[in-house]
Amino acid sequence: MSAFVPLPPLPLSSSKFSKPRQHAPPSRHLTSRRHPTASLAQSEAVKSGAAPVGTDAALQEMVRRSLSSQTPFTRRIAVLGSTGSIGTQTLDIVREAPHIFSVSSLTAGSNVELLVRQAREFRPHVVCILDESRRDELRSKLDDAQCKDIRVVCGSQGVVECAAETDADVVVTGIVGCAGLLPTVAAIKAGKDIALANKETLIAGGPVVVPLVKKHGVSMTAADSEHSAIFQCLQGAPQGALRKIILTASGGAFRDRPAKDLASVTLADALKHPNWSMGAKITIDSASLYNKAAEVIEAHYLFGLDYDNIEAVIHKQSIIHSMVEFEDSSVLAQLGWADMRLPLLYSMSWPHRVSMPSFKPLDLVEIGSLTFQEIDRQKYPNMDLAYIAGRKAGTMTCVLNAANEAAVEMFREEKIHFLDIPKINQAMMDSHRDDFLQYPTLDDIVHFDTVTRIHARELVASGKLG
């Protein structure tokens, strides 16, 4: 399919804020590939790293792009994690725009019932249930005349197959956690474009995934609302113009509680997000601000900016989804309701703009006011941990991610308290210093993801967490 030659959002090497990188150079967010209308000149420019900047060529490119964004197109979509929050919203989009989107594969963890309903409605070639014990049940529920041709696979290898061995143009990564890493890597290697919801892919695997995206010439377009906002603000920006990224944060479930009250919060409290309806893990991450912390690292890997130039601010309304500041001090923002369908749609259709009648237009008068507030770094230690891990790079962000996943699991099992989450993250990062690898392989990342989870659980079991 599809992928368009991007205007690189920023010139890493020429930014006056840039410092020497400690890891493989980050992606320019999206890389060139196969778009039928992409000019040879621009393909060459992007390959050489010298994309058009503030020149006539750049202006022509912008005009060409805005015109071509209206041309008809179709896309086949692989939906990983189709039964979750991201997956079901992706399918809402497909349902509303069947003239553009169709489904090539679906995967679920264990929710056979919903997967069967989805398979009947969207008729993919292949479906996967991670839980191998439910494969026969899935097969028998899809054995009638309409569905018997749908292949049924299972296990983590089945997920990889649904990501890579299909006729999909775009893979929407709606799996939660580092479990999304290997299927995403397989999809990239198979030349699929990625609509990235699963941020853990980059937090854990950034040093490996970013070069792989470049090597295989696929696009990786953020579905995460903040990074979609940034990417939208960067469309048409001249190379070298970006100075700063400002991520917005809702503040999560505990934003209006004083820090001292966090000692008494419960799992049920943490699951009450003020603005977004999302899966349990990311909702808890929003409450601990780990989600924002992870999004700082995600922004680094997607847009290549130094950590000094990535900020976050609490914006309670979640209407501005993020902002960029340019060298001339101009700030651009992207606005929309707190509805993931919009960033998902953009990640699936970029550079096109698709009309969706069910999307309610933004009403600024209804919103009334937009407010901003500094993040309290004492109350939310995960923010500082992300900057430390991000600057260290290599395997450190993988360890932070694995520690947090294990900690959130234990919090959901009610084995630890909410305030233990950042303590576990810090402890795992501290104990990783001797094993740290600056230039990990994918196997190294999988290894440290596995052992960190074990160590985090051992730490809690030992009673030494403090």
Ligand X SMILES: CC(=O)[C@@H](O)[C@H](O)COP(=O)(O)O
Ligand Y SMILES: NC(=O)C1=CN([C@@H]2O[C@H](COP(=O)(O)OP(=O)(O)OC[C@H]3O[C@@H](n4cnc5c(N)ncnc54)[C@H](OP(=O)(O)O)[C@@H]3O)[C@@H](O)[C@H]2O)C=CC1
**Residues lying near ligand X in the complex (CB under 6 A):** 224-226, 249-250, 252, 276, 282, 286, 291-292, 340
Q: Shortest Cβ distance from residue 302 to ligand X (Å)?
A: 13
Nearest CA to 285 out of 407, 459, 127 is that of: 407
CB 65 within 8 A of CB 93: no
Q: Which is nearer to ligand Y, 38 or 116 (CB)?
A: 116
Asked if 119 and 150 count as a contact pair (C-beta separation under 8 A), the reply is yes
Residue 130 as a binder of ligand Y (CB under 6 A): the answer is yes
Cβ atoms of 260 and 349 closer than 8 Å: no
Single out the residue of 160, 175, 186, 253 in contact with ligand Y (rule: CB under 6 A).
Answer: 175
Query: What span, in angstroms and rounded, lies between the C-alpha atoms of 253 and 240?
Result: 37
Q: Determine if 200 is a binding residue for ligand Y (CB under 6 A).
A: yes
Closest CB to ligand X among 226 and 420?
226
Measured from the CB atom, the residue of 73 and 276 that comes closer to ligand Y is 276
The reply to whether 240 sits near ligand Y by the rule CB under 6 A is no
* Shortest distance (Å) from residue 266 CB to ligand Y: 20
Site string for ligand Y, 102-121 (x = CB under 6 A): ------xxxx----------
3-state SS, residue 29: coil
The CB-of-89 to ligand X minimum distance in angstroms stands at: 10
Stretch that binds ligand Y, among 12-20, 257-265, 271-279, 310-318 (CB under 6 A): 271-279
Closest distance between ligand X and the C-beta of residue 176, in Å?
A: 12
Question: Who's near 277: CB < 8 A, 6+ residues apart?
Answer: 85
Q: Which CB atom, from 169 or from 226, has the smaller least distance to Mn ion?
A: 226
Residue 341: which of 103, 104, 92 has the closest Cα?
92
| Helix (H) / strand (E) containing 445 | helix 442-462
The least distance separating ligand Y from the CB of residue 187, rounded to whole angstroms, comes to 13
DSSP string, 301-338: HHH---GGGEEEEE-TT--EEEEEEETTS-EEEEE--S
Nearest residue (beta carbon) to Mn ion? 224
Q: Quick one: tokens of 47? A: 């390959």
Nearer to Mn ion, 32 or 404 (CB): 404
Among 278, 399, 427, 445, binds ligand Y (CB under 6 A): 278
Cα separation of 375 and 189, whole Å? Answer: 39
Which one of residues 32, 85, 250, 382 is an interface residue with ligand Y (CB under 6 A)?
85
The reply to whether 197 sits near ligand Y by the rule CB under 6 A is: yes
Give buried/exposed letters for 18-36 (b at 16+ CB in 10 A, else e).
beeeebbebbbbbbbbbbe
Binding part of the chain for ligand Y, among 173-181, 206-214, 361-369, 455-463 by CB under 6 A, reads: 173-181
Task: Kindly tell me which residue out of 165, 224, 285, 325 binds Mn ion, with binding defined by CB under 5 A.
Answer: 224
